[in-house]
Amino acid sequence: MTTRLFGEPVARVEDERLLRGHGGYLDDLGNDALECAFVRSPHAHARVDGIDVDDALEVDGLVAIYTYEDLPDRLAEPLPLLIPHPALTQGRTQYALARDVVRHVGEPVVMVVARNRYLAEDAAGKITVSYTPLPPVVGIPAARAAEHLVHADVPGNVAANLVQQVGDVDGVLARAPHVLELDLHVERSASTPLEGRGVLARWDTESHRLRMWSSTQTSTGVRAAVAAKLGLALMDVDVITPDVGGGFGVKIVHPWPEEVLVPWAARQLGRPVKFVEDRREHFISAAHERAQEHHVRAGFDDEGHLLALDVRFWHDHGAYIPYGLIVPIITSTQLLGPYKPRAYRVEFDSLYTNTLIVTPYRGAGRPQGVFVMERVMDAIARELGLDRTAVRERNFIRPDEMPYDHGLIFQDGRPLIYDSGDFPASLAKLKDLVGWDEFAAYRAQAAAEGRRVGIGLACYVEGTGVGPYEGAHVVVETSGKVKVSTGLTTQGQGHQTVFAQIVADELGVPMSDVEVVTGDTRRFGYAVGTFASRAAVMSGSAIALAARAARAKALRVAADALEADPDDLEIVDGVVRVVGSPGAEISLGTVAVLSNPLRYAFDDSAQAATQFAVGDTSKPPVGEDDEPGVEGRDYFSPMRSTFANGMHAVIVETDPDTAEITILRYCVVHDCGPLINPRIVEGQIHGGVAQGVGGALYERMAYDEAGQLQNASFMDFLMPYVTEVPRGIEIDHLETPSPLNPLGIKGAGEAGVIPGAAAIAAAIEDAEGFPITAMPISPSELFELRRKHSEG
């Protein structure tokens, strides 16, 4: 029997190629292409008075200079606002090249195309843009004060205000035996993938077709945006995603100005054009996230039951809103995690500031929400003198309450309904794993040695596998090999491996015979993209369904050839066999030949020729209702999102003198339903934990009052390196299946990052004995907090 691969920790098939340096990234392509550079705003807020390009025209090798005035109608319009929301009454997007006002440092003003990047940079350096500086609005307090406006026609800098409420919050708070109030702050951060953004475009002057390569998370999104902006039919634009060196959310399509300008220039010039951003450009012109301030009131009883929660928060959206209110809506709805307050109100303002735009970064609004909720849980425990896990347990949604409807509307516009999970069981596992009950003894022993240690935990729930759909095409070749295509893209998640595992199981073929292609609109043209931990649920399900269709077709054709009933057939190791009749068998490759004998004419391999000899050309190749080929194509569209969950526990040591914070242990219990590949899921968790540690201890975008980003390089932007990421992250799984998809799976790609800051804050709080209300926290900030608390 073929071994079932679903659930096996199969090694990633893509790694050998990538580790040997055989990957093909955007910058490895298009050696014949012209390259471009952008003149970007040095001001956070300014009027553009004039652009003088005369000196740049002298640069040898210059090919073209474009300003806003050069853009044709469609490109001269502001970029589209994707995923609009009724509450977003003041949505403003940017122009591909600044028209009259720039609103953040790094906004593109002039595009320069030259023989190579060096010459393009030389020419860009000779362009003079005259600006009249305007007062910048930097940070949430300045945006709220609204002394100055980012967009002159947006009062109060408020892009959107949204309130959701369930139950009588004010009434319950008024009657609650205890009420606490907290102000909680999370700093601005960013994805910072190793490979920045990049686009290459070739215009074919004969066929009038565009071919593009983009380091993107959504090739179909790029295609749609470019086709619309250039007035082309979708069919006339191909977008191919080469190897991508990380995305983490920042490469979801907006589209970027550069993404539409580069193909437009390629068509204008009739020559290939390429843009690869440098690191500084990534910091100042890609996208950030996280920055939020929250004011919370929580009412609870003597046993620690959360009766009412009232959360008011302010979201720093940056200078423009490329797509909807995704991040703050996720915070508002996912903040509740595994808990069920009797009454809940959440209200947010999305604010414009003169800083870079904000779009989802791995976790997307959840790390902030979890930080808020878990600080509340710990504060309740502290006030009542209860164990922190006991307070959580008392507030958990129980497994027999699933599916659980919070009465809120999720970011996809559908009701927020949890489908599965067993929070008490997860917590029991976590307590066991970290040794929660034994920690008091460890603390006492450490204290005796003059060491200060603390333990903390944080729980979260994550909506994953967001719709609307994903599709797949599975084809059995005459060689017996299987080609699988799905439209979403890959940035390092190991999709080639897991999707091959699914197909190998469904079709009964060796995994080595399965080849998976993602993110190439020529192979599969309808797709949404890779974000929101949706690939496993969405494409995984579509691939399983498509493989089942291909299998059914293979059995029909084989049954005919073997004169057997399809129900009596099995496929093992790529061979269709009549169960219980040794020797009555036919290879899948031969089945593919039989399903379409004409194929041999285009396939000169010796193997196919031999297979053709088996075919009986006197009979029609396919049944009356069948199409030629052993293929399956299907789409998966879920009723609603499926909710993964997890809990992290952290033990830290804080240096009594220097306030240095060291993570001693990091434990994870995670529930993403049945694991397709535990090794890949654990790798995803490790990567996420690293980013969570960054959010807790290091990463912040340090804007000064003038709106200049002070740490726009890897020399200055602190992030955890291998030396700071905890060694030996300990992971345990709970697998409660989702009823919402054929494989029962839930997403895993963001899980590791979500509770990191909250759990680390809790551990520091436990070590120090005073509340931590802002993230990240540096040793100097901890030192300062100690001073404040010791002074009372």
Which residues make up the interface to ligand MCN (CB under 6 A)?
Answer: 193, 246-249, 362, 464, 491-495, 498, 530-536, 672-677, 680-681, 684, 687, 745, 747-750
Q: Residues with Cβ < 8 Å from 729, sequence gap 6 or more?
A: 666, 667, 668, 685, 686, 689
Cα atoms in the Cβ-side hemisphere of radius 13 Å centred on 156 = 10
What's the min distance (Å) between Cβ of 222 and ligand MCN? 16
Q: Which is nearer to ligand MCN, 113 or 532 (CB)?
A: 532
Q: What is the residue whose two structure tokens read 């009594």? A: 656
CA distances from 393 to 99, 306, 425, 431 (A): 55, 11, 10, 12
Q: What secondary structure does DSSP assign to 467-508, as a single string?
A: -S-EEEEEEE-TTS-EEEEESS--SSS-HHHHHHHHHHHHHT
How far is 143 from 786, CA to CA, in rounded Å? 30
What's the min distance (Å) between Cβ of 518 and ligand MCN? 10
What's the min distance (Å) between Cβ of 744 and ligand MCN? 8
Q: What is the residue whose two structure tokens read 């905890």? A: 726
Q: Facing residues of 300 across strands?
A: 178, 306
Type of residue at 647: M
Q: Which is nearer to ligand MCN, 366 or 551 (CB)?
A: 366
What's the min distance (Å) between Cβ of 260 and ligand MCN? 23
Q: Which is nearer to ligand MCN, 307 or 725 (CB)?
A: 725
Q: Which is nearer to ligand MCN, 200 or 681 (CB)?
A: 681
Q: Which is nearer to ligand MCN, 389 or 497 (CB)?
A: 497
Q: Residues with Cβ < 8 Å from 174, sequence gap 6 or more?
A: none
Phi/psi of residue 292, each to 5°?
A: -150, 150
What's the min distance (Å) between Cβ of 248 and ligand MCN? 4
Q: Residues with Cβ < 8 Å from 537, sequence gap 6 or more?
A: 464, 465, 638, 642, 738, 741, 743, 745, 746, 747
Q: Which is nearer to ligand MCN, 576 or 647 (CB)?
A: 647
How far is 526 from 517, CA to CA, in rounded Å? 14
What's the min distance (Å) between Cβ of 689 and ligand MCN? 12
What's the min distance (Å) between Cβ of 683 and ligand MCN? 8
Q: Which is nearer to ligand MCN, 258 or 682 (CB)?
A: 682
Torsion, CA 669, CA 672, CA 677, CA 682, rounded to 10 = -30
Phi/psi of residue 310, each to 5°?
A: -125, 110
Q: Which is nearer to ligand MCN, 527 or 536 (CB)?
A: 536
Type of residue at 620: P
| Residue 251 · residue 215 · CB < 8 Å | yes
What's the min distance (Å) between Cβ of 642 and ligand MCN? 10
What's the min distance (Å) between Cβ of 463 and ligand MCN? 11
Q: Which is nearer to ligand MCN, 532 or 547 (CB)?
A: 532
**Residue 108 belongs to what H/E stretch?**
strand 108-114
Q: Which is nearer to ligand MCN, 292 or 493 (CB)?
A: 493
> Of 376, 427, 287, which Cα lies nearest the Cα of 771?
376
3-class SS of residue 220:
helix
What's the min distance (Å) between Cβ of 540 and ligand MCN? 6
Give me 376's structure tokens: 């509340």
What's the min distance (Å) between Cβ of 733 and ligand MCN? 9
Q: Which is nearer to ligand MCN, 272 or 529 (CB)?
A: 529
Type of residue at 328: P
Q: Which is nearer to ligand MCN, 282 or 305 (CB)?
A: 282
Q: What secondary structure does DSSP assign to 587-603, as a single string?
A: EHHHHHHHH-GGGGGG-
Q: Residues with Cβ < 8 Å from 525, sequence gap 6 or more?
A: 220, 234, 487
What's the min distance (Å) between Cβ of 252 and ligand MCN? 9
